[in-house]
Chains A and B, each alone.
Chain A
């Protein structure tokens, strides 16, 4: 009987919250498959933490109560943050809002495994326990990893860096939030209520800020892409800034590499415009048209990258946008084509 009540109470709230985040995000930055992968990553993190806790407590290296209050928050948040680090470092996250969705999905995966374990391990648990675990602990797990994602992405954008240090403040904040929750300073039901109020408030701020940033980036980026495209396709390239610059490189690069530089610039600007158009169409609630040639375009892009080498790409940096967001949009375009 307790499983019949406990299972939905402990699993549904966090999944419902995740579904709300996924569907409320109007640009559809995160694909459904990617959310499932994040849930799986969270579940694996939970399994790893469970094995580590059993080993530490079983060997008498740490007391179970001490572990739960002090060690578990740091260990569990670190384990969940691993996938966030991978996503941000691989340029698979564009904005704070998708970082929040990925983070919450990882935390949800973690909470699902943890709650299923509790369901089998605790004898005769009360519905109150499942309420606290479902609405409180599970949402706290999602929220804490979302904090890692949000803070890390914000710092990564601010510093244009993906070095490990940019993940530490978010991780510290998440571990601190988790540790405070585990101290049960407040009565469990009140603590659950605090989580249920604080997290949506944080997400609302992130959604609004992210939407504003995204619109600004779209407008500015689209404008500079169009300007560059106009120069490349003007028919009188040598009279443009790009043409003058490429001519100035004549003594340093072979002629065919200079040709590839121009092709590379054109390919990048075209792919960039395609990616931004997908966001515009998705924001309008429409399905973007499939481009059957997109795979070939990326194949060509990789070929040109090899031809240019690191030096050639560096030489193009005055005209090439290489911010984390500019690289993310290429990933988003590939994902969209593969879907």
Chain B
């Protein structure tokens, strides 16, 4: 089960992911991101601080969202990696694929 919470902060759309980004949740996450991008949310920070689990389908969906933003000239960053999810991002090299910040505040300051 994945809950997505969108809020605007400092000219950015911050998407909080709460729960599990797995094979069940990934298609819905992609669809929701597409809708938001279509609605003009083209500067997006994904906040992972309350994400409990991520699978390969979840990682694929993040790439898809990042590419969709790239296609419309938008910007994309991730924030709040912690625990085993931080380990997964670090080991798989995903932490270096996208701008990555310790938390949303740091991301907002840096961007």
Q: Which residues of B contact A289 (CB under 8 A)?
A: 93, 96-97
Contact with B along A236-274 (1 / 0, CB 8 A): 000000000000000000000000000000000010011
Contact residue among B53, B59, B84 (Cβ-Cβ distance under 8 Å from A277): B59
Q: How far is the CB of B48 from the nearest CB of chain A, in Å?
A: 14
Using CB atoms, name the residue of chain B closest to A217. B56
Please, which residue of chain B has its CB at the minimum distance from the CB of A234? Answer: B84
Instruction: List residues of chain B with CB within 8 A of the CB of A233.
Output: 84, 87
List the count of A-B residue pairs having beta carbons below 8 Å apart.
62
- For the complex, give the distance between the alpha carbons of A29 and B77 in Å: 29
Contact flag A219-B91 (CB < 8 Å), given A284-B64, A284-B67, A289-B96: no
Q: Would A229 and B93 count as touching, CB distance under 8 A?
A: no
B63: nearest residue on chain A (CB-CB)?
A: A284
Smallest CB separation, A133 vs chain B (Å): 43
Q: Are A229 and B87 in contact (CB under 8 A)?
A: yes
Mark B residues whose CB is within 8 Å of A: 22-23, 53-57, 59-60, 63-64, 67, 84, 87-88, 91-94, 96-97
Q: Are A291 and B93 in contact (CB under 8 A)?
A: yes
Interface SS of chain B: helix, strand, loop or mixed? helix
Which residues of chain A are within 8 angstroms of B87 by Cβ–Cβ distance? 229, 233
Nearest chain A residue, comparing its CB with the CB of B96: A289
Interface residues of A in 281-307 (CB under 8 A from B): 281, 283-286, 288-289, 291
Other A-B contacts than A219-B56, A273-B88, A286-B97, 10 sampled, CB-CB below 8 A, are: A219-B55, A222-B55, A222-B56, A226-B88, A233-B87, A270-B91, A277-B93, A277-B94, A286-B67, A289-B97
Is the C-beta of A223 less than 8 angstroms from some C-beta in chain B? yes
With an 8 Å Cβ cutoff, the count of chain A residues facing the other chain is: 24
Chain B residues positioned under 8 Å from A280 (CB to CB) = 56, 59-60, 63, 92
Residue contact B97 to A230, C-beta cutoff 8 Å: no
| Residue contact B88 to A229, C-beta cutoff 8 Å | yes
State whether the Cβ of A218 lies closer than 8 Å to any Cβ in chain B.
yes
CA distance A179 to B56 in the complex (A): 44
Chain B residue with Cβ nearest A271 = B91
The answer to whether A153 has its CB under 8 Å from any CB of chain B is no
For this complex, 24 residue pairs linking A to B, each with C-beta atoms less than 8 Å apart, are A219-B22, A219-B23, A219-B55, A223-B55, A226-B53, A226-B88, A229-B87, A230-B84, A233-B87, A270-B91, A273-B91, A273-B92, A276-B56, A277-B59, A277-B91, A277-B93, A277-B94, A280-B63, A280-B92, A283-B60, A288-B93, A289-B96, A289-B97, A291-B93
Q: Which of A215, A221, A230, A276 lies in contact with B92, CB distance below 8 A? A: A276
